[in-house]
Amino acid sequence: MSDTELKPDSQETLYRDAIATFEQLKRNHRDLVRADPKAFREIVRKAGARVFRLKPGPKPQRNPRVAKAARRRGRGAPWQDLYPLFIVGWADLNEFTRGHAEDGFRRQVTDYLRDHPRLKCPSGTPAKIPAGAAGP
């Protein structure tokens, strides 16, 4: 048994202590409990969630090839040029599995570009028209 696991008797003790604490809260704030029990439960729930907040876990590791492909795609590279460069063994895949690999690759690249919108801006965008200039 690791150090982080609670023993059955310590779990029971924790449970009894939590009940005693909540009963004490009910006694101390009896007027609010009688007036609006749902509001009381909501306040206690929010406070408990704040005290026992679980921090988000580690982010999923992305394939570095996807990031490089997204940068190229953001600059306007066609998909057909990216497949052989960034899909491992693309030339050896049969037509069926190649289609699945390309679909998954496109999905990963577009997800990456959605998370990094600055990469989507092509470098050849026309300059803004000055404020006093005549428009087209």
Question: Which residue in 100, 117, 115, 106 sits closest to 69, CA to CA?
Answer: 106
pTM (2 decimals)?
0.47
Which is higher by pLDDT, 79 or 53? 79
Do 26 and 44 touch, CB atoms closer than 8 A? no
pLDDT of 135 strictly over 70: no
* Whether pLDDT at 107 is above 70: yes
Model pLDDT, residue 118: 83
Give the tens place of pLDDT for each residue, 28-41: 999 999 999 999 99
Q: pLDDT confidence of 46, banded at 50, 70, 90? A: very high
Please answer whether residues 29 and 40 qualify as being in contact, where contact means their C-beta atoms are separated by less than 8 angstroms: yes
Domain extents for the chain?
9-51, 64-120
